[in-house]
Amino acid sequence: MGKNGGSTYDFNFILGLLLTSLVLFIVFLGFFYTPYDPNKMEAALINKPPSLSHPLGTDNFGRDILSRVMKGAGTTYVIAAAIVCIGASLGILVGALTGYFGGWFDEVVMRLNDVLTSFPSILLALVFVSLFGPGSYNIVFALGLLFVPSYARLVRGEFIVLKERDFVNNAKLMGAGSLRIIFVHILPNTRRVLLPSLLIGFNNAVLAEAGLSYLGLGVQPPDASLGRMLSEAQGYLLDSPWYALAPGLMIVLTVLGFSLVSGGLENGQG
């Protein structure tokens, strides 16, 4: 890529860092401070437009939208992070073992992996949540398991390549055991592809949580999440457009920011 292409990548990466820093600042601030109680209802403030006292307006229950976005974004981020932790941890373990040992173990596990990935993940999550009930814990568990195959396949591919490298052969000659080779010598060398995929996975988890909460299967009222707020705002798009604008914009900034950072990491920046 020429000089101009490199400059474009630099700009995208820096823009991604700025957007990501902005949304993370809002989320972390919301853990410790919100202008108002996010769940406090005020009959006199129902559907008020943005003002100095309520910069993003109020909702149909008179609750401050800024406070609910700050708290709701934190809820969505925590759920998304938990989903990625479950999916990535199990996926990395499965991918590392299958990629390193291969043979019949690899064939059996990856065929099961293919079966799981052949079904739409959101559809399986809907089935799971419908069976075990709505709520944050259920969608974390359901989506976490559905994220396993993608990480397993990614890490497996890296292990198949890296296990033939000289540094692995040298470790074997020095008497290193299989587990040490897997987790000390090979796994750290997968970070080049693993870090960007973790960011994209976080994006996907945010969108999945928002989708399930929008359908009423995720975070339950009166608690706020970005998807829950969009669901509550759908009946007020014409009369109170600010109601849906704030949570929607937060999702857009999140996805855009993390995507740009992920793209920068894939191109060797950061």
Mapping DSSP to helix (H, G, I), strand (E, B) and coil, where does residue 64 land?
A: strand
Taking CA atoms, 49 is separated from 10, 40, 43, 81, in Å, by 39, 17, 14, 33
Taking CA atoms, 264 is separated from 83, 102, 122, 198, 230, in Å, by 23, 32, 28, 13, 30
User: 79 near 136, Cβ under 8 Å?
Assistant: yes
* Radius of gyration of the CA atoms of the chain, in A: 22
At 261 the pLDDT is 94
At 126 the pLDDT is 77
At 270 the pLDDT is 54
At 81 the pLDDT is 96
Task: Report the alpha-carbon distance of residue 6 to residue 163 in Å, rounded.
Answer: 32
Task: Report the alpha-carbon distance of residue 27 to residue 23 in Å, rounded.
Answer: 6
Listed residue (37, 28, 33) closest to 68, CA to CA: 37
At 248 the pLDDT is 93
pTM given for the model: 0.89
Average pLDDT, consecutive stretches of 10 residues, N- to C-terminus, the chain (270 residues): 55 93 95 93 91 92 94 94 95 94 88 81 76 82 89 94 90 88 92 92 92 86 90 87 92 95 79
Taking CA atoms, 138 is separated from 7, 65, 111, 126, 203, in Å, by 44, 26, 26, 10, 19
Q: Which CATH number is associated with domain 9-30+55-266?
A: 1.10.3720.10
At 117 the pLDDT is 79
Query: What's the CA angle centered on 81, arms 78 and 85, to 5 degrees?
Result: 135
What burial letters (b/e) apply to 121-143, b meaning 16+ CB within 10 Å? bbeebbebbeeeebebebbbbbb
